[in-house]
A = this chain, B = another copy of it.
Amino acid sequence: MQSDANGLIGAIEAGGTKFICALARHDGTIVARTRIATRHPSETWADVVAFFRTASAEHGAIDSFGVASFGPIDIDPTSPAYGTITTTPKPGWSGARYQDALDEFAVPIVVDTDVNGAAIGEWLTGAGQGVKTMAYTTIGTGVGTGIVRDGRPMMGFSHYEAGHIRPHRDPAADPFPGVCPYHGDCVEGLASGPAILKRWGKTLDQLAQAPADLLLVAGYIADLAADLVLLHMPDRLIFGGGVMKTPGLVEALRKATEERLGGYVRHPRLDPGLETYLVTPHLGDDAGITGAIELGRHALVQR
């Protein structure tokens, strides 16, 4: 993606514990970067704005901002509340709006979710390079999926909420009711980090040593993977996040996903064993800020 501007892009990866801020050239090269602890928005944003003010004075004018943020957040550019965090238990953040925080720079701003930002990053320079449609799922504190088509995040009236689909659970075989306050046994309620901790009180390394438990978790995530295939037919599935670092989990997930699909979806993309179809991320912690820089470029490119 090209844009004609010669200045810089401000990028923010906004998470519940930290904000990563970067100033980058249009080719993605980062010229300044910082990490700011997430506190009340007034404090957090004072630090964010100070960083960009100082970095811009040193490196050059900012043409646009890209923000990949925790949510839930309004990401509909046609909505009056675009860029506003909607409902969160984090003190002060409900109703906070990125455009207000960054208004002194008076440049275009694109705001999307953290998982869409990471998905764009992996599509651009990571495990999703070269494919048309790609689904990036994070299995961590929460579970979420960002789906990118031709580098743009897909959405309907809002961002997707894939973590809340309900997998196949046989209560006789698995009586654990899940931890999601809304649904109990949705994927997030059964396979997220907090769900694993609550159920077994164990770490992921310990989970890796209990094959039956590992398979149970893999099976729930596989239901999500199969639903993503059936409802989006992506060219590649990427599964990342803390839980996916469990040794053996991605292998178990590939096997369970193939079993769930039952040979129904046949396409060269789905190689036997899914080793090239269902993969882990390449960028690690850099996916989010890479995606945020790309979102900043989107602000400058007409579509």
Residue ranges of A at the interface with B (Cβ–Cβ < 8 Å): 87, 132-133, 145, 149, 155-162, 164-166, 168-172, 182-183, 223, 226-228, 230-235, 260, 262-267, 269
Contact = CB atoms under 8 A, between A and B. Distances in A.
Contacts of A264: 161, 164, 182-183
Nearest to A72: B266
Q: Copies of this chain, how many?
A: 2
Contacts of A162: 230-231
Given A182-B262, A231-B227, A233-B157, A172 B172 contact: yes
User: Which of A156, A159, A164, A183 has the most chain B CB within a 10 Å cutoff?
Assistant: A156
A64 B124 CA distance: 37
A187 to B, nearest CB: 10
A232 B231 contact: yes
A183 B227 CA distance: 13
26 contacts: A132-B156, A133-B156, A155-B233, A156-B234, A157-B233, A157-B269, A158-B233, A160-B230, A160-B231, A160-B233, A161-B264, A161-B265, A162-B231, A164-B264, A165-B226, A166-B168, A166-B226, A168-B169, A170-B170, A182-B263, A183-B260, A183-B262, A183-B264, A227-B227, A227-B231, A231-B232
A54 B23 CA distance: 66
A58 to B, nearest CB: 41
A231 B186 CA distance: 13
B159 A233 contact: yes
A108 B197 CA distance: 58
A227 B227 CA distance: 8
A290 to B, nearest CB: 23
A260 B170 contact: no
Contacts of A235: 156-157
A43 to B, nearest CB: 29
Given A157-B235, A234-B157, A165 B267 contact: no
Contacts of A269: 157
A170 B175 CA distance: 12
Contacts of A266: 87
Contact of A231 (B133, B157, B169, B228): B228
A76 to B, nearest CB: 10
Nearest to A231: B231
Contact of A160 (B158, B168, B232): B232
A161 B234 CA distance: 12
B168 A171 contact: no
Nearest to A170: B171
Given A156-B234, A156-B235, A157-B267, 20 more contacts: A87-B266, A132-B156, A132-B157, A145-B231, A149-B156, A155-B233, A156-B233, A157-B233, A157-B234, A160-B231, A160-B232, A161-B230, A161-B265, A165-B227, A165-B230, A166-B223, A166-B260, A170-B170, A182-B264, A231-B231
